[in-house]
Amino acid sequence: MTADRSNRRVAIGPRAAALTAPMAPTARSGLVVCAALAALLSGCSGSLLPKPPAPPTRFTLDVPGAAAAPRPAAAGAPVLVVALPRAAPGFDSHRMLYLRRPQELEAYASNEWVDTPARMLAPLLVQSLQGSGAFSAVLLAPSAASGAWRLESELIRLQQDFGTQPSQVRLTLRAVLVDTTSRQVIAWREFDETVAAATDDAAGGAAAAHQATGRVLAALAAFCAAQPQHRPASAAAR
């Protein structure tokens, strides 16, 4: 019996020795490398995935000081309806456009207008013309009310030109006054303003566009205010 027990212990001994033997340096280093790689992959898996593009920076088309109190309209001043401005091809989107070479329009990749420039001009036109005091009321079409006159306009261009230093923003607007009864053109004019940008980037272009818009609106209001004094007989009879 003693010999049998001794033999069993001898038989079990080598297996236990193999299980408890110290790990070889090569095997230990391999496991360490694998563990490090696993930790690295789990920590960096998020950074390896494509990130969604950052939202674009959006700019408004405002005119500082445009909210001044309107002048009182003269007795018998006509009602003016302002049609929603149209835009020339290429300028009817939210894109902020610029030029580096003549006649080659490009757009900022991460900057845009909050709305199309033509649509942003509409309320500014109404506000500026109402403030001129030349009209008893200025309405934005479509409107339930009618007016004796109608202003139609088209944005010809709004672009930042990098062909000069500093860059310049150019705004061109064509305006047409129409007698709504006779459908005759009372007067028309093309307004063109260029303003140097303080910085050669989208923010500088937007700030220059604000100044150009203010100048165009002031000139347009003065132009329209001068027309009631020379309106045709059909308008004067009303």
Give residue-wise pLDDT tens across range 190-209: 999 999 999 999 999 999 99
In a domain, 166, yes or no: yes
Give residue-wise pLDDT tens across range 109-162: 999 999 999 999 999 999 999 998 889 999 999 888 888 999 999 999 999 999
pLDDT confidence tier of residue 218, bands split at 50, 70 and 90: very high
Place of tokens 């045709």: 232
Task: Clarify whether residues 83 and 39 are in a common domain.
Answer: no
Lowest mean pLDDT among 31-35, 97-101, 181-185, 221-225: 31-35
Task: Clarify whether residues 87 and 42 are in a common domain.
Answer: no
216 versus 64: the higher-pLDDT residue is 216
Domain span holding position 42? 2-47
Task: Clarify whether residues 91 and 30 are in a common domain.
Answer: no
pLDDT confidence tier of residue 237, bands split at 50, 70 and 90: very low
In a domain, 153, yes or no: yes
Estimate the share of the chain in helix, then strand, then coil, as percent rounded to the nearest 5.
40, 30, 35
Give residue-wise pLDDT tens across range 33-88: 566 666 555 555 556 677 788 889 999 998 766 556 667 777 788 899 999 999 99
Burial 51-77 (b: 16+ CB within 10 A, else e): eeeeebeebebebeebeeeeeebeeeb
Q: Cα–Cα distance between 129 and 138 in angstroms, integer? A: 7
Residue 177's pLDDT is what? 95
Lowest mean pLDDT among 22-26, 45-49, 173-177, 206-210: 22-26
Task: Clarify whether residues 109 and 216 are in a common domain.
Answer: yes
Task: Clarify whether residues 189 and 129 are in a common domain.
Answer: yes
Q: Residue 50 corresponds to which amino acid?
A: P
